[in-house]
């Protein structure tokens, strides 16, 4: 959390957004059926599906407005001008370029790629291994410059993967082999490991940490995935290469 | 060393993935995707029958629940999106036929080939402190004061709501319909006295009927029905023959495979299904829980579901609760 | 006397279970599994019971019930681990525990907090078990007092309480967060008329927003981002930690424990809502009745005890309407209902005739499960705290993977993940701007209930609010709500103070 003064300035900003959201909710709610029968249920004002959203929207607009007023009372015109100045000026850019902000982008970007690109299309194990490996290597050892390089690498691979999944090229390749995406991730993981190794690992300490990273990144998903898939019988989001392999081990005639 | 390990690993699973030997269906686990939540009627029905089928087929059948969307559309889309090879079943019930007209599913229901286990017949009941002793009392009272008697059923457009509507249409009475989230809630409301009439299935109500918490007035099927401790519940058709025009609308719980599943796989499944339906375990379970077993497959089940689909779709459309015109899906009028 | 007969058969069943090594093994195994389920963010006791239902199909009924009840009890308790140690509630039930549990862990008293919750949870479960044995018919009558009006007032009360609970900055921000939650709750088909609200034509939004992805998104993701971003260490693990039950502290808090248990049993018995709300209401009551409410949220032992006792007491409470009326009192109880049907037991008013000992069996399992939970918990607590020694940079990404698979497994719905992440990122910004997150989650849980029941209540009463004052339970709820709102304002406190002056009372704190 920030300190009081900054917080009030942020309130100006968030308060306005809340008011807008409230107004949006109201604008949508008035389009809902108010009187006529819908779904065989007698409809009067108090039965209307719009009742609750209207109330919520109105309250949000009101509370957001009050927040803006409170914040305005605290920081005054001066503060208001500062907020506008901050949002448009250089300060904002330098804030966005801070090391801490950069770390924030790195985490969020990787989470986004993991959830939106990898989970739905890539074998769960491979996806989790890549995700863990990248995050571990970003933060567990190395300095800020190291993190930046890993981040750059992950942006590159993330974009490559999304290009593969969402472009016509990818879907044509997938027609020939439906685990093409999985193989791509395998290749990326290999390149990534080589990339980090090349990436000056001066002290033996770092090397040790890196090996630990690899082990955990492989063991943790295997453990989690196998428990879910074979013990709790929960199918994983996308079952590709590795899961087919595990399936053939688990259900092979060897056991019966 | 490490690179060698990696290489051998890659080679190993490249082989393993390709090397699944082709044995006759079923040579691996079957998954049954139930589109309603665990513990519900459809779920229980599927688990009972698939457990029997699994022993007959000599393979595992994993029952999973994939809920959400419009009338179970998320689970249906998932099951339909899997290879049409008989290894993925879709556990569903009659209510799923509404997914089309409610905009969650762009196909007619006959893309599925259903295996109907059965369902529990609907019963119309009142709370014990009301003066209505027979269905006639209730209907006459409702006719005298239209919309004054509160009747509960699960949500608008559900099978029990449709049954209630059919009773209204067939008898000319008008109730004040109060929707609830599910049958449990609807029955609870009757017990608390919030509503006086409740329509749910006998399976869901039997404990309350036998415990004296509710009073059954009539079965919404052409036959009367014997319930332990209560004797026979008369058919509503006896008092109001006009009902036969609109009823029965029966539950059809079971599972389905895509219609274009290979015939040999389908045949194996039908055989196993028929055998499972004949087992004592399924029969006892059905009797104890007041289910009527059906066992229809293939063309027979298609007929049942066609009728259900057209009935549900057009009723919803007339109520104004459907977003897609049934005509665009080429659903015939009932 | 019937009660003695009941007690007699109860102990007979307990005895027969204790001497059977197989039941004991299943009991301890399931409790441990349940605790693990609860402790991992994203895996809830509902999910645990749902998954195990399939696996217990081949067991006999008694063994299956031992297994499922133990999972339920263990899962409800296990949620406190993650709440206390990493500030990500393992289950919605233990979200309130995080408010005071995590600050305690930051002071290095994580082990102590876990030790206390273990004892408190056990006492809560046992008290609720007593209710099942002794007065379950009365409680199920109480459950039947709840019509739409009462449900609405109860939901409203939960929302009010959440708004006043946790505001690190301005109180108004708590309210805003609550209303944001209520807005999320509006999304989807409305339950009465099936009209799609705010779905924007996306079919996945039709069935509404599920609680679990919101819970994980709102609590888990911001914590993961924050810890990794700012390189702050999580809570500390002290070397020498007392995990002893601390009889003294427990005894001192006994009135609070008993009050929380009563709240838990009561809320559990009300159909449809369960552990999650019980924890919050109990925490709120503890805070509102405390002599030093300002210490809550900063590591107050009483807060941890209140929420953990109540959510475990809820287990027994939820079983009462399930067994006597066939109405599940909480979401996991709904799963249990399904499991019972699978085994050919239909709970309801006739159960005492059809399966005369069944209710006593459940009570016996509850008692044994709570004892097993205490033993397992005491042994686990010390080990679990060691988790904090894992470097956060390695720990948090794994938690991230767990969160993701956890929110996926309940409905097997990838869309839940698409929802969870944006909610998480928005909540990260909200947290940083001083908005409390708890009211948002409570809004999502209670919103549909408030909405649906208010409209249905008005439908039944044809637009009149009069029934609120004519029905005893709703009148009591209404008075409590008015009192809660009024006690937030200065003029009310001053007024009470003056009143006391006039009446000649000594002013306690001025």
Q: Is the preceding omega at residue A160 within 30 degrees of 0, hence cis? A: no
Q: How far apart are alpha carbons C111 and C56 in whole angstroms?
A: 34
Report the percentage of chain B scoring pLDDT > 70.
93
Q: Indicate the pLDDT class of residue B6, thresholds 50, 70 and 90.
A: low
Using a CB–CB cutoff of 8 Å, tell me whether B11 touches chain A: no
- Compute the nearest-CA separation of A192 from chain C (Å): 18
- Pick the most confident of B20-24, B121-125, C92-96: B121-125
**Confidence at residue A113, expressed as pLDDT on a 0 to 100 scale:** 92
Looking at per-residue pLDDT, the higher value among B280 and B29 belongs to B280
Measured in angstroms, the CA of A218 and the nearest CA of chain B are apart by 12
- Which pairs with CB-CB distance under 8 Å and at least 24 residues apart come from A31-34? A32/C195, A32/C197, A33/C193, A33/C195
pLDDT at C1: 47
How long a stretch of residues is chain B?
Answer: 334
Would you say C216 and C420 are in contact if contact means Cβ atoms under 8 Å apart? yes
pLDDT at C507: 44
SS3 B67: coil
Q: Is the dihedral of CA C448, C454, C455, C461 positive or negative?
A: positive
The dotted CATH code for B26-119+251-329 is 3.40.190.150
Chain B, window 101-130: residues with a beta carbon less than 8 angstroms from a chain C beta carbon: 102-104
What pLDDT, on a 0 to 100 scale, did the predictor assign at position C175?
85
- B251: its two tokens: 């539950």
Q: Tell me the per-residue pLDDT of C293-349, one tens digit each, with 9 for 90 and over.
A: 788 888 888 889 999 999 999 999 999 888 888 888 788 888 888 888 888 788 888
Report the C-alpha gap between B13 and B19 in whole angstroms.
Answer: 9
On chain A, the residues whose CB falls within 8 A of the CB of B316 are 39
| CATH no. of B122-245 | 3.40.190.10
- For chain A, list residues with pLDDT below 50: 256
Say if CB B290 and CB B306 are below 8 A apart: no
Q: What pLDDT band is residue B288 in, cutting at 50, 70 and 90? A: confident
User: Pick from A14, A115, A234: which is nearest to C51 by CB?
Assistant: A234
C203 has a chain A CB within 8 A of its CB: no
Q: Residue B5: which pLDDT band, with cuts at 50, 70 and 90?
A: low
Beta bridge partners of residue B64, listed in sequence order: B33
CA distance C399 to C438: 20
Segments of chain B assigned to CATH 3.40.190.150 = 26-119+251-329
Query: Is the pLDDT assigned to residue C263 strictly greater than 60?
Result: yes
Task: Tell me the shortest Cα–Cα distance from A126 to chain C, in angstroms.
Answer: 12
ipTM over 0.85: yes
Query: Pairing state of beta strands B292-293 and B112-119?
Result: antiparallel
- Tell me which residue of C325, C197, B148 sits closest to A53, measured CA to CA: C197
* B183 burial type by CB count under 10 A (0-12 exposed, 13-18 middle, 19+ buried): buried
pLDDT in tens, C204-255: 787 788 888 888 888 889 988 988 887 766 666 655 455 666 777 888 888 8
**Strand-by-strand arrangement of the B253-258 sheet:** B61-65, B30-34, B88-92, B253-258, B112-119, B292-293
| Residues on chain A touching C425 (C-beta within 8 angstroms) | 108
CB contacts of C431 in chain A (<8 Å) are 1
What rounded mean pLDDT belongs to chain C? 83
* Residue B2: predicted pLDDT: 55
Q: Does C455 lie at the interface with A, CB-CB under 8 angstroms?
A: yes
Nearest CB among A37, A179, A247 relative to B320 is that of A37
Among candidate residues C174, C203, C82, the one with its CA nearest the CA of residue C437: C174
pLDDT by residue (tens digit) across A42-74? Answer: 567 777 888 889 999 999 999 999 988 888 887
| Nearest CA-CA partner of C448 in C190, C217, C205 | C190
Q: Shortest CA distance to C78 belongs to which of C33, C11, C123, C16?
A: C33
Cβ pairs A/C, distance under 8 A? 178
CB A120 within 8 A of CB A237: yes
Nearest CB partner across the interface for B319, out of A39, A233, A242:
A39
Average pLDDT over residues B167-172: 87
Answer whether A244's CB lies under 8 Å from B73's CB.
no
């Amino acid at each position: 959390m920030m300190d009081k003064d900054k917080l009030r300035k942020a309130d100006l900003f968030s308060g306005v957004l809340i008011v807008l959201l409230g107004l949006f909710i109201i604008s949508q709610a008035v389009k809902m059926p108010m009187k006529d029968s819908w779904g065989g249920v007698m409809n009067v004002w108090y039965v209307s599906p719009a009742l609750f959203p209207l109330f919520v929207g109105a309250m949000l607009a009101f509370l957001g407005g009050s927040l803006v007023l409170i914040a305005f009372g605290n920081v005054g015109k001066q503060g208001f001008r500062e907020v506008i100045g901050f949002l448009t000026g250089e300060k904002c850019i330098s804030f966005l370029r801070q090391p801490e902000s950069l770390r924030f982008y790195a985490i969020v970007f990787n989470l986004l790629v993991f959830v939106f690109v990898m989970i739905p299309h890539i074998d769960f194990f491979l996806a989790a291994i890549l995700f863990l490996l990248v995050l571990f290597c970003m933060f567990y050892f190395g300095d800020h410059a190291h993190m930046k390089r890993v981040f750059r690498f992950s942006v590159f691979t993330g974009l490559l993967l999304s290009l593969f999944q969402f472009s016509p090229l990818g879907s044509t390749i997938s027609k020939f082999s439906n685990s093409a995406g999985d193989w791509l991730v395998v290749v990326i993981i290999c390149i990534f490991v080589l990339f980090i190794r090349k990436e000056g690992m001066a002290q033996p300490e770092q090397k040790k940490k890196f090996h630990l990273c690899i082990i955990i990144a492989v063991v943790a998903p295997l453990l989690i995935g196998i428990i879910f898939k074979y013990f709790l019988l929960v199918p994983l989001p996308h079952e590709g290469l590795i899961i087919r392999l595990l399936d053939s081990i688990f259900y092979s005639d060897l056991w019966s | 060393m490490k690179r060698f390990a990696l290489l051998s690993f890659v080679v190993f699973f490249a082989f393993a993935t390709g090397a699944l030997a082709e044995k006759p269906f079923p040579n691996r686990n079957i998954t049954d995707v139930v589109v309603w939540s665990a513990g519900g009627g459809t779920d229980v029905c599927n688990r009972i029958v698939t457990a029997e089928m699994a022993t007959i087929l000599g393979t595992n059948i994993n029952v999973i629940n994939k809920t959400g969307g419009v009338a179970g559309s998320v689970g249906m889309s998932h099951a339909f999106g899997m290879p049409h090879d008989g290894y993925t079943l879709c556990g569903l019930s009659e209510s799923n036929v509404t997914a089309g007209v409610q905009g969650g599913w762009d196909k007619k229901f006959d893309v599925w080939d259903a295996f109907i286990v059965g369902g529990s017949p609907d019963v119309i009941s009142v709370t014990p402190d009301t003066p209505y002793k027979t269905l006639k009392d209730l209907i006459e009272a409702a006719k005298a004061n239209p919309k004054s008697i509160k009747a509960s059923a699960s949500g608008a457009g559900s099978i029990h709501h449709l049954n209630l509507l059919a009773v209204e249409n067939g008898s000319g009475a008008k109730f004040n319909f109060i929707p609830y989230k599910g049958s449990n809630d609807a029955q609870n409301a009757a017990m608390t006295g919030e509503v006086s009439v409740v329509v749910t299935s006998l399976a869901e109500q039997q404990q309350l009927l036998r415990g004296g918490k509710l009073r059954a007035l009539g079965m919404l099927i052409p036959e009367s029905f014997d319930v332990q401790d209560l004797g026979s519940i008369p058919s509503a058709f006896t008092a109001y023959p006009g009902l036969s025009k609109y009823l029965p609308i029966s539950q059809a719980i079971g599972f389905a495979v895509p219609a274009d599943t290979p015939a040999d796989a389908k045949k194996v499944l039908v055989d196993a299904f028929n055998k499972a339906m004949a087992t004592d375990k399924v029969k006892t379970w059905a009797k104890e829980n007041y289910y009527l077993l059906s066992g229809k497959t293939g063309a027979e089940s298609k007929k049942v579901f066609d009728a259900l689909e057209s009935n549900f779709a057009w009723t919803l459309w007339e109520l104004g609760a459907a977003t897609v015109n049934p005509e665009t899906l080429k659903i015939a009028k009932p | 006397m019937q009660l003695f007969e009941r007690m007699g058969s109860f102990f007979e069943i307990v005895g027969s279970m204790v001497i059977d090594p197989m039941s004991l093994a299943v009991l301890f195994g399931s409790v441990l599994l349940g605790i693990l389920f609860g402790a991992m963010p994203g895996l809830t006791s509902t999910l645990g019971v749902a998954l195990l239902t399939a696996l217990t199909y081949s067991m006999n009924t008694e063994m299956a019930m031992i297994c499922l009840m133990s999972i339920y009890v263990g899962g409800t308790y296990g949620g406190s681990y993650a709440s206390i140690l990493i500030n990500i509630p393992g289950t919605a039930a233990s979200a309130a525990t995080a408010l005071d549990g995590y600050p305690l862990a930051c002071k290095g008293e994580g082990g102590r907090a876990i030790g206390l919750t273990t004892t408190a949870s056990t006492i809560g479960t046992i008290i609720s078990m007593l209710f099942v044995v002794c007065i379950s018919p009365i409680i199920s009558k109480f459950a039947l007092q709840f019509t739409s009006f009462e449900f609405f007032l109860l939901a409203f009360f939960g929302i009010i309480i959440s708004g006043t609970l946790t505001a690190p900055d301005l109180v108004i921000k708590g309210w805003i967060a609550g209303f944001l939650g209520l807005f999320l709750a509006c999304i989807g088909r409305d339950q009465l008329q099936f009209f799609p609200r705010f779905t924007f034509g996306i079919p996945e939004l039709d069935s509404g927003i599920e609680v679990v992805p919101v819970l994980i998104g709102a609590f888990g993701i911001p914590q993961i981002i924050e810890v990794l971003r700012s390189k702050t260490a999580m809570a500390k693990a002290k070397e020498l930690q007392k995990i002893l039950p601390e009889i003294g502290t427990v005894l001192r808090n006994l009135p609070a424990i008993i009050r929380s248990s009563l709240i838990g049993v009561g809320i559990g018995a009300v159909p449809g809502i369960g552990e999650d709300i019980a924890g919050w209401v109990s925490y709120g009551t503890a805070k509102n009745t405390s002599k030093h409410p300002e210490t809550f949220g900063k590591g107050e032992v009483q807060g941890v005890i209140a929420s953990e006792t109540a959510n475990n007491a809820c287990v027994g409470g939820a079983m009462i309407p399930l067994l006597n009326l066939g109405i599940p009192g909480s979401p996991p109880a709904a799963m249990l209902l399904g499991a019972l049907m699978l085994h050919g037991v239909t709970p309801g008013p006739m159960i005492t005739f059809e399966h005369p000992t069944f209710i006593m069996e459940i009570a016996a399992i509850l008692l044994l499960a709570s004892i097993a939970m205490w033993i397992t918990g005491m042994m686990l607590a010390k080990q679990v705290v060691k988790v904090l020694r894992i470097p956060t940079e390695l720990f948090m990404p794994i938690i991230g993977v767990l969160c993701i698979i956890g929110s996926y497994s309940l409905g097997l719905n990838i869309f839940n993940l698409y929802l969870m992440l944006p909610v998480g990122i928005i909540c990260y910004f909200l947290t940083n701007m001083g908005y409390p997150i708890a009211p948002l989650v409570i809004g999502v849980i209670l919103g549909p209930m408030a909405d649906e029941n208010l409209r249905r209540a008005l439908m039944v009463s044809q637009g009149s609010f009069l029934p609120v004052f004519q029905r005893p339970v709703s009148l009591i709820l209404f008075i409590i709500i008015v009192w809660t709102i009024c006690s937030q304002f200065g003029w009310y406190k001053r007024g009470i103070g003056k009143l006391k002056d006039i009446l000649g009372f000594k002013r306690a704190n001025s």
